[in-house]
Structure 1
Amino acid sequence: MAGRGFIHDKLEIKFLILYIAARVIEPIPFDTVLDLTMCDDAIDYFDFSECLNDLVKTEHLTLSEDGLYAVTEKGVRNSQICESSLPYSVRLRCDKNLSIWNRKLRRKSQVRSITEKRPNGTYTVRFNLDDDMGSVMDLRLMVVREDMAKVLSERFRKSPEKLYSKIMDLLLSDDEDEPER
């Protein structure tokens, strides 16, 4: 083991990985599993990698073609049985990190932008904003260049609520000063 910490053997590393996989809201890539697991100073990369591979081999986790890890029913059952074996301080640190990651994952699924090329050479950028109840906004815009579409997508993902608010303000405003056309 690498340093001083509370995790002392590979079995405890496996318990920790299962604890994480059972609580993350969607399948995650290797790097994310690694980041979330390295919450204890005693875990090293090589032990982690070996344990992660063992959990896939024993069908506690699945590894998709996209390189995403997800917990199986067997993994969830064993995680529930073994979670009390993890030191409380490790679980607290892990829960804090999981909370941050789950917020990021939830945000990513609620804020989406898609760019599609049209037959005439222009692009359609589609912006979606959802909340826990469903769709809040589904907006499509035409742009003439792909680089413009990328800029719009990036800006939308940074602050979709701002765009939504401005659209609502424009649509709900009483602009009596402006002449009708």
Structure 2
Amino acid sequence: MGIAFIQDKLEIKFLILYIAARLTEPVDGAALQDMTMCDDGIDYFDYAECLNDLVRTEHLRVTEDGRYVITDKGRKNSNICESSLPYSVRQLSDRHIAAYNKEALRRQQVQSHVTQRENGTYTVTLKLRDDVDSLMELELMVADKESGQALAERFQREPEKVYGQIIGLLCRK
């Protein structure tokens, strides 16, 4: 068993707000829980109660797709209270937040989805962006959903390679 720096529910609330204030996109409950449970002083039931309290008091709100996002009220209170969190907890949280934000950026830059057409075939849409603009948007027709999902998954794994090969093929003389 490790050392517990978080001592009470108020500190758990401060930690949840600290994390939510630094995320670049709304977060699902599982990811928020993973980032919050970074200290031995936090158990799941206290975390769940604190999260519900923060939603009830409008420090956090739940989006239509069930994700959590901090409100202006929550951000203001987070700024006021963050210094009361133990430094070691903030450091560990910052590492978790950075990893989450890196994954969020990747989700924004690399997108793929499969949609069914009226004729029963499927369209696979593959998008690749950088920090500024769209690099590529490609739509492909496939015969079945499984093939479309396989293409989308391969693109998600290596979008830069796909992009490079397409550019290479198009630039050949």
Work out whether 1:133 is the aligned partner of 2:166: no
Secondary structure at the aligned position of 2:119 is classed as coil
Distance in 2 between residues matched to 1:79 and 1:27, nearest whole Å = 16
Work out whether 1:27 is the aligned partner of 2:42: no
> Counterpart of 1:179?
none
Of 3-12 and 55-64, more deviation after overlay is shown by 3-12
Secondary structure at the aligned position of 1:139 is classed as strand
Of 61-70 and 10-19, more deviation after overlay is shown by 61-70
Q: Report the Cα offset of residue 42 of structure 1.
A: 1.0
> Counterpart of 1:112?
111
> Counterpart of 2:50?
51
Stretches of structure 1 that go unaligned for 5 or more consecutive residues are 175-181
Distance in 2 between residues matched to 1:74 and 1:170, nearest whole Å = 52
CA RMSD of aligned residues (A): 1.3
Secondary structure at the aligned position of 1:52 is classed as helix
> Counterpart of 2:4?
5
Identity of counterpart residues, as a percentage? 55
Q: Report the Cα offset of residue 3 of structure 1.
A: 6.5
Distance in 1 between residues matched to 2:81 and 2:141, nearest whole Å = 53
> Counterpart of 1:81?
80
Aligned residue pairs total: 173
Distance in 2 between residues matched to 1:28 and 1:50, nearest whole Å = 17
CA contact 1:3–1:42 (8 Å) conserved in 2: no
Distance in 2 between residues matched to 1:130 and 1:79, nearest whole Å = 32
Distance in 2 between residues matched to 1:153 and 1:68, nearest whole Å = 24
> Counterpart of 2:71?
72
Q: Which has the larger radius of gyration?
A: 1
Secondary structure at the aligned position of 1:91 is classed as helix
Q: Report the Cα offset of residue 143 of structure 1.
A: 1.1
Q: Give the TM-score normalised by structure 1.
A: 0.92
Q: Give the TM-score normalised by structure 2.
A: 0.96
Q: Report the Cα offset of residue 124 of structure 1.
A: 1.3
Distance in 2 between residues matched to 1:125 and 1:63, nearest whole Å = 30
Secondary structure at the aligned position of 2:106 is classed as helix
Secondary structure at the aligned position of 1:92 is classed as helix
Q: Report the Cα offset of residue 19 of structure 1.
A: 0.2
Query: What code does the residue aligned with 1:56 have?
Result: V
Secondary structure at the aligned position of 1:28 is classed as coil
> Counterpart of 1:41?
40
> In structure 2, do the counterparts of structure 1 residues 3 and 47 end up closer, same or farther at CA, with 3 Å as the change threshold?
farther
Stretches of structure 2 that go unaligned for 5 or more consecutive residues are none
Secondary structure at the aligned position of 1:59 is classed as coil
> Counterpart of 2:147?
148
